Amino acid sequence: MAFASDRSAGNSQSSLFLRDSARNATSAGWVVAYTDGGSRGNPGPSGYGVVIQDDDGAVLAELSEFIGMRTNNVAEYSGMLAALEYALAHGHPRLRIVSDSELMVKQMRGQYRVQSPELRPLFEQAKRLAGKLEAFQIEHVLRGKNRKADELANLAMDRGMRRKSENKSATASATSVVTPSTTAAPPVRPLRGIVKEGKISLLEGSIPEGTIVVVMPEKALGERALRPDGK
């Protein structure tokens, strides 16, 4: 892997990464990854987008992924990590990252210290992956020159927010209890009768033939059963 020293005032940290001015005269064998990450809320729904091109400018891959509730800087690092992983997995030994995140670029070059405990493990992982390449470069560009990656990052956030909304709707439907409307049954009014020779003769009203009935002594019903209104 090619190395270059990159020091800033008050910062003696050496960079493991090439400066823009230290690029090889030939671009043969290089792939360029335009990366971007975004967050709607910071932290909020986040995603990254990556466009990877060969040294002739042909698009090799477009990566876009929703990463959940994260900060904007975490999303930026996630996009760079995705590009590094792609280069290693597909046998591209030379990778140039192009990003509109000045913070990430200067941290990777050693110009800024990584003080955030949230970014530190991502920074360390990026260094490990970059160390497996033959050569690695990273440069900063304005957002206007990174539009496609920005579009992919926003598409990732759109997908993630849509899935979240759909999951909420599905959960609400699954947990909701539908209570069918019912009509209150009319109160049961006992009919009075008298037993003679094992048979019951009704003193009032009538019961359809074949109806199964429950018979109990009048005393067991109590006074409530004797009231005409059933109350």
Task: Provide the residue ranges of all domains of the chain, joining segments of one domain with +.
Answer: 20-169, 193-226
Q: Please state the φ and ψ torsions of residue 181, each to the nearest 5 degrees.
A: -70, 135
- pLDDT computed for residue 2 by the predictor: 40
In the block, residue with structure tokens 């957002």:
143
Which residues have C-beta within 8 Å of that of residue 28, sequence separation ≥ 6? 55
Lookup: tokens for 103: 């913070």
pTM above 0.85, yes or no: no
Q: Please state the φ and ψ torsions of residue 18, each to the nearest 5 degrees.
A: -70, 140
- pLDDT computed for residue 21 by the predictor: 37
CB burial of 19-46 (b: ≥16 within 10 Å; e: otherwise) equals eeeebeeeeeebbbbbbbbbbbeeebbb
- pLDDT computed for residue 29 by the predictor: 87
State the fold for domain 20-169.
Answer: Nucleotidyltransferase; domain 5 (3.30.420)
- pLDDT computed for residue 137 by the predictor: 97
Mean pLDDT (10-residue bins), the chain, 231 residues: 37 42 55 98 96 96 97 98 98 98 98 97 98 98 95 97 80 59 57 73 72 70 52 50
- Residue 159 burial by CB count (10 A; 0-12/13-18/19+): exposed, middle or buried? middle
- pLDDT computed for residue 211 by the predictor: 72
- pLDDT computed for residue 194 by the predictor: 75
